[in-house]
Structure 1
Amino acid sequence: MFNTKVALGTWSWGSGLNGGDQVFGNHLTQTDLQAVVDSAMANGLNFWDTAAAYGEGSSETLLGNCLTAYNRDDYFLSTKFTPRFAGSGENPVGDMLAGSLKRLHTDHVDLYWIHNAEGVEKWTPMIIPLVKKGLIKHVGVSNHNLQQIKRAREILNAGGVELDAVQNHYSLLDRKSEDEGILDYCHENGITFFPYMVLEQGVLTGKHDAAHPFEGDSNRAKKYNPLLPKLNELLAKMIELAGKYHVAVADIATAWVIQKNTTPIIGVTKQHYIADTKRALSLNLTSDEMKALESLADQAHVNTQGSWEHSMDK
């Protein structure tokens, strides 16, 4: 469906509510991020994922500005309608999309998501006329469980529109979308599954452990620092495999989800992350290595579910 093995995420860009400064403790400038975009585009990584909710639109603004130097046909844009930030007008989905288009300096988005499942019956039908107007090329749903995915697909299909993508939290530390049959459903129905938080906000990069916690008082530090002591064995195995394959530790986590037949969204904030991400595309872990990582992750018994996530139970 989508001609890419990986998407590049921009949740950690921008500032303000749900922005990179509050969630991750980042303070990234346009100049910082232009170098990231230029490196990615030069390396053939041109699928960009953002959302109006990230930093109250500031992530979209930064991404849109960084991409103005490139032809629109040379990159793929993915952004989102977030129900809890919907306006009170007659067409809240269209209104939020219009704001995204303006910030992204474009007349269409290649992939538009319903960001969570609050009101499947209400919001899903509003996507259909926007597709038919050419403002949206493909439709996806994010943070939906299997029942909600099936219902959204029914609504879209009744209006002559396909559900092309599902985006959920999925990583070595959170495999609910696999356990509840969502991955299988997507694979059986030609729907691309895009996992986010593949690196668990940096926990699975090998840069942090019980002795090297996240600094500051960001949301990330508050959530993950208490979990780090439980991840020693998993991180040790990832470091071992990274040494074996001569890659970054983060590449192990990325390769694992790619080998699950998914298209991960990898957050990028620094230029050297682009080279790491590209290496992960050609890394092939053995079946035994995949199972060993999963077993150690299970033994950690950590819960990394986000406050915004709903149950993935059927």
Structure 2
Amino acid sequence: MALQVSGTGFGLIHGSRGGFRVRGVASESMPAKKVEGGKVKLGGTEVKVTKLGIGAWSWGDTGYWNDSQWDDRKQKEAKAAFDASIDGGITLFDTAEVYGAGIMMGAVNSETLLGDFIKERKKNDSVEVAVATKFAALPWRFGRGSVLSALQASLSRIGLSSVDLYQLHWPGFWGNEGYIDGLGDAFEKGLVKAVGVSNYNEKQLRDAYARLKKRGIPLAANQVNYSLIYRNPEINGVKATCDELGITLIAYSPMAQGILTGKYTPERPPTGPRGKVYTPEYLTKLQPLMTRIKEIAQNYSRSPTQVVLNWLTCQDNVIPIPGAKNAEQAKEFVGALGWRLTDEEVEELRSLAAQIPPATGLPFE
């Protein structure tokens, strides 16, 4: 989520190793084969989630996604994405109180939509859905009590008595100690099964980990912007710290907001806010990497999207959460699991990506 500050206040704008290769077909036009097994623990907790989740940032949003409009058709498509994800074996969904949220005129809250989707699904299906949501560290929120109050409101919107993962969406403006204490209180009260943070740098991450550890509570996750062309977590110590402390890294915008799908070209750049970041000039520099991604995808009978997401899962201790607007996208994400790039391919793609200058002006969730 991007936080804009203006003279009038704060506005929320708002995602088999070795030589043997698995050959399979997973395309948007074919039903997604269900991924069996494939769950991992969140950090040092006993909470198990699928190796890939679905981000619900776009659900109900009218500030960044959906061409500033939300209607019944888009809501039905979001519900279809939810169902297709579960049908394919992906049961982790990540939302936040500020996604949609009604802050923007006409917006629908993403938490409410997710809760409605879960309720409707459970009428005919006993599937267990793992829900992750987030606390907005707004500058007028102070202390641990604000975390519990916000969590109770989120639980009410989702329609659950507890969530699997509750995260601080970004570091606090006036400090984080009270917020971290609030996470601990929520855990001890049984309102959450695991706690995490988002957009925390190495020092903030270590401080949060240490403060919770004193209470015997594991810090389960740090959700950050991470993709093949945005590898700051590898450079700034966040990925290494997560690995060292046993904290799961949840990667939002894992396809660089759709840029790595191959959909966009210098002649056909994205529209809206993304077009200001991923310009024709930038997309021109991206083409050698995209060409190689497409070649590897063809070798595996996969799509570029599936290769890019698989690259992230190959980093180990990483759970990508791409955003799914419709069933076709969700089915494609399922095809990113159940196979693995070779180590040589992983490093080749990293090397090609390293030759591309980082995009500037990236919006952060």
Per the TM superposition, whether the score is higher than 0.5 is yes
Q: Does residue 66 of structure 1 match 2:107?
A: no
- Root-mean-square deviation (CA, aligned residues, Å) is 2.2
Contact (CA 8 Å) 2:277, 2:362: kept in 1 or not? no
Give me the TM-score of the superposition, normalised by structure 2. 0.78
Q: Which ranges of structure 2 fall in alignment gaps of 5 or more residues?
A: 1-40, 42-47, 103-108
Equivalent residue, structure 2, for 1:312 = none
Question: 1:252 maps to what in 2?
Answer: 307
Normalising to structure 1: TM-score of the pair?
A: 0.90
Q: Distance in 2 between matches of 1:187 and 1:4?
A: 18
When structure 1 is superposed on structure 2, of 40-49 and 223-232 the one drifting more is 223-232
- Structure 1's consecutive aligned runs of 4 or more residues displaced over 4 angstroms after TM superposition are 25-28, 85-90
Residue 35 (str. 1) matches residue 89 (str. 2):
no
Question: Displacement, 1:154?
Answer: 1.2
Percentage identity across paired residues of the two chains: 33
1:8 equivalent in structure 2? 54
Over 3 Å counting, the alpha-carbon distance change for 1:214 and 1:306 in structure 2 is: closer
Q: 1:105 aligned to 2:159?
A: yes
Show structure 1 runs of 5+ residues with no match.
Answer: 310-314
Distance in 2, Cα, partners of 1:88 & 1:166: 21
Q: In the aligned structure 1, how far is the partner of 2:199 from the partner of 2:51?
A: 21
Give the structure 2 partner of residue 220 of structure 1.
274
Spell out the pairing of 1:1-314 with structure 2 (5 A cutoff).
1=41, 2-17=48-63, 20-21=65-66, 29-56=74-101, 58-71=109-122, 74-84=128-138, 87=141, 91-118=145-172, 119-215=175-271, 218-226=272-280, 227-261=282-316, 262-304=318-360, 306-308=362-364
In 2, distance between residues paired with 1:51 and 1:34?
Answer: 17
Residue by residue, what CA displacement relative to the aligned partner does 1:114-149 show, whole Å, maximum 9, x if unpaired?
Answer: 111222223111111111111111001110011110
Q: Match for 2:287: what amino acid?
A: N
Kept after mapping to 1: 8 A contact 2:144/2:181 = no
DSSP-derived class of the 1:32 partner: helix
Q: Which secondary structure state, in structure 1, belongs to the residue aligned with residue 179 of structure 2? A: helix
Secondary structure of 1:167's match? strand
How many angstroms does 1:305 deviate by? Answer: 6.0
Match of 2:34 in 1: none
* DSSP-derived class of the 2:344 partner: helix
Greater helix fraction, Structure 1 or Structure 2: 1
CA drift of 1:73 comes to: 6.4
Return the offset for 1:89.
9.0
How many residue pairs align between the two structures?
Answer: 305
2:256 corresponds to which letter in structure 1?
E
Give 1:84 deviation, angstroms: 2.1
Q: CA deviation at 1:91?
A: 2.3
